[in-house]
């Protein structure tokens, strides 16, 4: 359990920016569940979700990088929530799973050549004697564009993506859970992505660039 409280390479809970962010958003209460909920909402909404932020540079997976950029995707955001929790004395770790996403943008699906989003990241927090899942990926404004309720977290129940949007359309399916880790397993992460999307790893191929929220807002 102590390893889930210590700073890691990617869950860099001792980074000055992470410490300042955690202190700003942890709330007045020192009760762990209350702090966890407050930190979850902050990571969810203060750092925009944008999958085009993905890079082969491992430095971009760090919690501190997500803060510096102001936008990121699920894995660095999950690292950020874990890092903030650790700073506040809450044991935390990252989980990885493959999911099928039925609501995306045409450009992103064309880029991936698949509806499967490999190595989706979520956070596990140890609260009240048990591990609880939290998924701070999609910010509230992006959820409004996709017509799906923003994912809430109460510190008691697992918080994972809704299977349907508010129109009853299939939204997200969890396919494979790769497990939970004290820090992001870099080699496993990139090796699995390379196996799923080999075209993205070709020389000079990964030049993403884009804004998912802006793209989604013009989809009828």
Extract the tokens encoding 49.
């979700």
Domains of the chain: 2-217 (3.10.620.30)
Q: Is the pLDDT of residue 217 over 70?
A: no
Cβ atoms 87, 196 nearer than 8 A: no
For residues 120 and 205, the model is more confident at: 120
Predicted local distance difference test score (pLDDT) of residue 102: 62
pTM of the predicted model as reported, rounded to 2 decimal places: 0.93
**Cα 75–Cα 81–Cα 87 angle in degrees, nearest 5:** 135
C-alpha torsion 41→100→57→122, nearest 10: 30
Strands 48-49 and 71-72, by their bridges, are parallel
Grouping H, G, I as helix, E, B as strand and the rest as coil, residue 35 is helix
Whole-angstrom Cα distance, residue 153 to residue 38?
A: 9
Q: What is the mean pLDDT of residues 49-67?
A: 94
By C-alpha distance, which of 130, 115, 125, 135 is closest to 175? 115
Q: What is the mean pLDDT of residues 187-200?
A: 94
Cβ atoms 86, 92 nearer than 8 A: yes
By C-alpha distance, which of 216, 218, 217 is closest to 103? 216
């Amino acid at each position: 359990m102590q390893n889930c409280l210590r700073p890691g390479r990617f869950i860099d809970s001792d980074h000055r920016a992470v410490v300042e962010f955690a202190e700003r958003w942890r709330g007045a209460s020192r009760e762990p569940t209350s702090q966890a909920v407050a930190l979850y909402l902050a990571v969810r909404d203060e750092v925009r979700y944008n999958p085009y932020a993905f890079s082969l540079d491992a430095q971009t997976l760090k919690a501190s990088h997500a803060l510096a950029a102001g936008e990121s995707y699920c894995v660095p955001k999950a690292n950020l929530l874990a890092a903030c929790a650790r700073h506040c004395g809450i044991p935390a770790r990252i989980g990885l799973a493959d999911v099928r996403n039925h609501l995306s943008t045409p450009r992103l699906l064309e880029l991936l050549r698949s509806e499967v989003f490999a190595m989706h990241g979520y956070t596990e927090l140890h609260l009240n004697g048990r591990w609880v899942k939290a998924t701070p990926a999609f910010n509230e404004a992006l959820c409004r564009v996709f017509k799906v309720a923003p994912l809430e977290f109460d510190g008691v129940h697992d918080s994972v993506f809704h299977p349907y949007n508010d129109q009853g359309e299939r939204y997200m399916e969890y396919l494979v859970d790769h497990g939970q880790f004290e820090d992001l397993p870099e080699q496993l992460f990139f090796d699995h992505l390379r196996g799923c999307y080999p075209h993205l790893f070709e020389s000079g191929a990964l030049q993403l660039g884009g804004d998912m929220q802006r793209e989604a807002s013009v989809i009828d």
